[in-house]
Amino acid sequence: MKLRIPSLSLLGVVLTLGATASAQAQDARVDHRQDHQEQRIEQGIASGEITRPEAARLTRQQNHIDRLEHRVEGDGHVTRREAVRVEAAQDRASAHIRHTRHDRQVRPRAR
């Protein structure tokens, strides 16, 4: 039985495809999480848990994360360090949303 060693070019293609699939999965996860956080903000606004100034601050934070994500993806390659940075920004935003929705400030109801 003769073992064949794959050529380096084939190995390179396999590694590139794996990295591309991983980057796409990461991108999809980030986008899904952004959508979910924006829904949480909208729900908080609708329920009166989030005031207008709080909504503006949370929306600015989401916009910052969107810009960060676009900068990170700009060169076509997302490093592990960049992915961690985006995820940390999303973690902070999620905590801010949670805190804001439960801080006992309520928007006055329209009469």
Residue 110's pLDDT is 59
User: pLDDT value at position 10?
Assistant: 57
Task: Give residue limits of the domains in the chain.
Answer: 29-101
59 C-beta neighbours (distance < 10 Å), count:
14
Query: From the first residue on, what is the mean pLDDT of each consecutive set of 10 residues in the chain (111 residues)?
Result: 59 57 73 93 93 95 95 91 95 96 75 54
Burial class (CB in 10 A: 0-12, 13-18, 19+), 29: middle
